[in-house]
């Protein structure tokens, strides 16, 4: 079984300040982990993914995340927020080793607000 907990439902930052979106996961196998972003009434866009390679993963738009097995965490960060980063962010886990055939489990999402 797998699960994802996004610790904050809403994060508000000022433009130019760092962003931290927290995610903890639970998995029976070696997981693949993803962060997706969703703008209003749009589909999901992949920001970055971890698939058992380097633990520090760099994604698009300046985002990165670090896989910490000991803490079962995969927090998303960005050094400096931009107004266009305002969106809903989802942490996602996939238990490929469990034969789930790419079945994804989504966190509840974190709404990021960026203030001018």
Partner 1 sequence: GAVVSQHPSRVICKSGTSVKIECRSLDFQATTMFWYRQFPKKSLMLMATSNEGSKATYEQGVEKDKFLINHASLTLSTLTVTSAHPEDSSFYICSASPVENTEAFFGQGTRLTVV
Contact of 30 with 52, CB cutoff 8 Å: yes
Burial class for 22, CB neighbours closer than 10 Å (0-12, 13-18, 19+): middle
- Tell me whether residue 30 or residue 115 sits nearer to partner 1 (CB atom): 30
Instruction: Give, as one character, the DSSP assignment of residue 85.
Output: G
| Contact flag: residue 70 with partner 1 (CB under 8 A) | no
One symbol per residue from 78 to 97: x for binding partner 1 (CB under 8 A), - otherwise; what is it? ------------x---x-x-
Count of residues for the chain?
116
Residues in contact with partner 1 by the rule CB under 8 A: 32, 34, 36, 41-46, 49, 51, 90, 94, 96, 101-104, 106-109, 111
């Amino acid at each position: 079984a797998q699960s994802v907990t996004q610790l904050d439902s809403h994060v508000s930052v000022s433009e130019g300040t760092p962003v931290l979106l927290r995610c903890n996961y639970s998995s029976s196998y070696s997981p693949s982990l993803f962060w997706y972003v969703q703008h209003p009434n749009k589909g999901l866009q992949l920001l970055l993914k971890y698939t058992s390679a380097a633990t520090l993963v760099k994604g698009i738009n300046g985002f990165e995340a670090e896989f910490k097995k000991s803490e079962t965490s995969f927090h998303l960060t960005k050094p400096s927020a931009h107004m266009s980063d305002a969106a809903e962010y989802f942490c996602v886990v996939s238990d490929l080793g469990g034969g789930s055939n790419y079945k994804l489990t989504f966190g509840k999402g974190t709404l990021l607000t960026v203030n001018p």
